Structure formats: structure tokens, C-alpha cells
Copies of this chain bind each other. A is one copy, B any other.
Amino acid sequence: MAKDKIRRPRAETPKGFRDYFGAEVTERNEMLATIAEVYRAHGFDPLETSAVETVEALGKFLPDVDRPNEGVFAWLDEGGDWLALRYDMTAPLARVAAQFRNDLPSPYRRYTMGSVWRNEKPGPGRFRQFYQCDADTVGAASVAADAEICGMLSDTLEAVGIPRGDYLVRVNNRKVLNGVMEVAGVLDPTDPQKFAEARGTVLRAIDKFDKFGEAGVRALMGAGRMDASGDFTKGAGLSDEQADIVMGFMSAKRANGTATAARLRELVSGSVLGAEGVDELEQIAGLLDGQGYGPDRIVIDPSVVRGLGYYTGPVFEAELTFEILDEKGRPRQFGSVAGGGRYDDLVKRFTGQEVPATGVSIGVDRLLSALRAKGRISGAAQGPVVVTVMDRDRMGDYLAMAAELRRAGIRAEVYLGNPKNFGNQLKYADKRESPVAVIQGSDEAARGVVQIKDLVLGAQIAAEATVEEWKSQPAQFEASRGEMVEKVKAILARNQARGAL
């Protein structure tokens, strides 16, 4: 056979994708398990939908309406359907709620955790596959369902390790914003489609207040905005007077919920929808206050709008209020880690019947990095005890030692690389972040003993000790084979006690 020139495949994750190793995986799983516990306690049931949906079932609800057909990874199936990877957890839930409407309890509370995919330009820290963790209630029109989600979100943040005072759940209502739009003359209750595009532009502009500032938002509400690179984004075409009314809504927050609600009521004066929105906000605040979720945890804040077009009522956002240092060492607010709201029209797409629904989505990666920033999780791996191999023919003995350590609840493994160079075995143990290495050559085996090397203490001595101390090597000692497990246990217990300080 003629030998072709070998072209080797590139060993690379596709652009915008990444792998997770060791503690990155276990820490996320632990956080998700804690969240699941809170959700379950509130009566939410797990759901895991398929990662693949038909494009028609997913719909076009991605925030970036300029590219309605893009943003997803899609392909034509052999059966003739266009399939795509889900881009969020809400569209699949709407599909499930419609598909299984005769079997599911109503209201249906469900939580779900998993990957979603976005076919977007990747950038630093911006990936095309990421985790979401959602809780939604389908079939409950009552704002008690929204209040429950907000309270549960507060409980969840505290359960994973964000202390009270370090976060705030901010609540608003799209109906109030729409009331303001009505007052400003960009919403006609008798013809909801009229001005819909302008309102969408206003929504997205407001949602980017933190990014663009007041001037930028005003430009987007008016003629449009030119960014630093010269790209022009068309604006909503509002007059200055109209923009003033909308901006007034943004700054309607007062010292407490009652005062904020009163100010909002003024702003939406004359709009039936707006008044309904304020009523709902007051009800939510009342229900939450009654359960002890005071303004130190959950507040009414008119500046929250959420970019997605499909929200129809209450919207909420959880923000972490502490500062972290950015890549240039400047302090900045951590910002949003979760958001959601009420979307009463999503299931209707399938069935024609309106089904009220509300829910929240937690940004898993952002919450994890917040916990790391707070030192709540260490990011450090807990390496196994490494049983080294001095004598290739006695592999069975080494395997037995590791098994014995495991039976005592100690993570342990035998070095399985080429044992020839003992230095490599210790380097391996180092890379594994092993706390202890166990060594038994033929001499030790004959005498029924093992050498136990305390690698944590060893590293400390190497860093701090004098040559004399180093020579005495107190980090390595001999123990009888029978005592091995107890001696290793003692070292691990000491390390743990020290780690807890």
C-alpha cells in the first residue's frame, strides 16, 4: 500500500469551547448539588431535556434580534428537520410543558442544570458552551410564584456561601415599564404590535446602562449611537421628551419599597397596565416581607429590565454587591449572577393557549468564580496518596497497600508509569498534589516496614529549613507495614486540621 504523507489532526478544543479539569468539575458539581437541594426543598422537580431540539421548537428568542436566524448551532437532520443545540433552558421547558401537558402536574415546578450552546463570536472569558441552572414554575398566574422564585434565589445564594449583605435580589415589573412606555407614547394598548421594534430597542438600551452610561442609553433611545470603533447602532427614534419619561423610570428607586412603589405609581399615571404592574410589585414585596426577606435581601428596583424580549411581568436579577479586583487590579462590582422573570406567552407558541410561567436562571460559571473570589471554595485538588514502585515484580504488594488505604477511606493509587527513575515518581506525586508517598524497597519488604514520606511537611521544610534540618529529613520516617494506614491517617488529619485554621 502506498504510504500517503501523514497529516495529523490538530489536538485542539474548537474555538470558544473549553475543558474542565479536576477541582473545576467537583466544585461545580458540589455547588449544583447544594442548589438542587434548595430547589427540591421548595417542591421543584428535576428535568433533563435533550440537548438537541428542532429549530422550530426552539424559536427565535435570543436577545440579539439583529440576527434572528443565527446564534445557534444547527444542522439538517437526515429526516428532513433542522435540529439545533439548545441555547437556553427556557425554550426546551416551553416545549416540554406543551408536549407533556396532560401528564405534568399543574402548576409544574421544575429545575434543570446543564450545558447550553451559543453560536456566537468567542472572546476572552466568553465561551460557546456554558452551564445554566434554572428553576421555573409553569401554570401559576399568581405573583406568589414570582415571590417564591425570588425568595428561593435568596436562599440559594446563602446556601452556596454568599453571605447576606453580599448580594441583593432586585425586582421590577415589565408592566410598569410598559406603562411608562404608554405614558411616553411608544405603546398603544389597543395595538400591541405598534412601536414594538422601538420598544425592543429601548429595552436593550436600558439593559446596557451599566455598560454605556446615561449618555449612551439616551443616544440609543434617540437617533442612535456610534461606538469607539465607529460602528453605528440605530436608535429607537424617541424624542427627548419621550426619553426623559423613560429615563425617569430608571431613577425611580427610593429609600424603601413603599416609596419606590409610590413614585412608580406617579410615573405610570393613566396607564391601566402600569398600575397593574405596580400592584403586582407591591404584592410581591408584601409576600416577601412577610417571610422575612427584607430589603437587605430583596428590593424593588426600577433599573432592572432584563434584555430578553419575552418577559411579560415581574423581572428579577441577583447581583453580588462586593467588589473584586479586575484584571488590571482595579476594584469593581462583581455584578449579576442570576436573572429571570415572568413569560406568559412561550408555551402559547405551541398550543395556542396562554400558560403563565415564571423562572430564574443562575449563571453557574459566574457564581463559581464569585465563590472563588470570596475564598469559599479553594480551587485546590485533594491529591491521592501515591504508593511508589521500587520493585517491579512486587506490583501485587503495592496494589494491596493502595487497596488497604482505600478501605480506610483514604484516596490512594499506585504509580503506574515506568518505575525505573524514582525521582520521576516523586515528581509525579508532586504534580498530583499528593499529601503522602509510601515507599517500600526489597530491603524494607524483608524487614516488614515501609517508608512514609510526608510531602506537605517536606515541601515546607524545603522552603524554610536549614541544611542541617533538611539532612535530618523528619518528613520521612519508617513504620511497620501493619502501622502504615494509621500513620498515613495521622498525617492527613494533621493537614486537615491545619487547613481548617
Contacts and interface: CB of A to CB of B under 8 A. Distances in A.
A43 B81 CA distance: 44
A98 B54 contact: no
A20 B92 CA distance: 12
A41 to B, nearest CB: 5
A390 interface: no
A413 B21 CA distance: 37
B46 A25 contact: yes
21 contacts: A8-B350, A8-B351, A8-B352, A9-B349, A14-B77, A19-B49, A19-B50, A21-B45, A25-B48, A42-B402, A45-B381, A51-B51, A85-B85, A105-B432, A107-B415, A107-B416, A142-B395, A144-B395, A144-B414, A290-B400, A291-B396
Interface of A: 1, 6, 8-15, 17-22, 24-26, 29, 40-43, 45-54, 56-57, 59, 73-75, 77-79, 81, 83, 85, 95-96, 98-100, 105-107, 109, 115, 117, 119, 128-129, 137, 139-142, 144-145, 147-148, 151, 193, 286-287, 290-291, 349-352, 381, 384, 386, 395-396, 399-400, 402-403, 406, 411-418, 428, 431-432
Tell me the number of copies of this protein: 2
Given A13-B53, A17-B50, A22-B45, 8 more contacts: A42-B411, A42-B412, A51-B85, A107-B416, A137-B416, A148-B414, A286-B396, A291-B396
Contact of A8 (B144, B349, B381): B349
Contacts of A96: 11, 19
A72 to B, nearest CB: 10
A40 to B, nearest CB: 6
A11 B115 contact: no
A135 B496 CA distance: 28
B73 A47 contact: no
A107 to B, nearest CB: 5
A145 B13 contact: no
Contacts of A400: 290-291
Highest count of chain B CB atoms <10 Å: which of A9, A29, A54: A9
A104 to B, nearest CB: 8
Given A41-B412, A73-B83, A411-B43, A399 B9 contact: no
B416 A57 contact: no
A200 to B, nearest CB: 15
A54 B9 contact: yes
Contacts of A384: 42-43
B9 A139 contact: no
Nearest to A144: B395
A329 B44 CA distance: 36
Nearest to A385: B43
B83 A399 contact: no
B290 A17 contact: no
A42 B414 CA distance: 9
A96 B1 CA distance: 31
Contacts of A100: 19
Contacts of A106: 417, 428
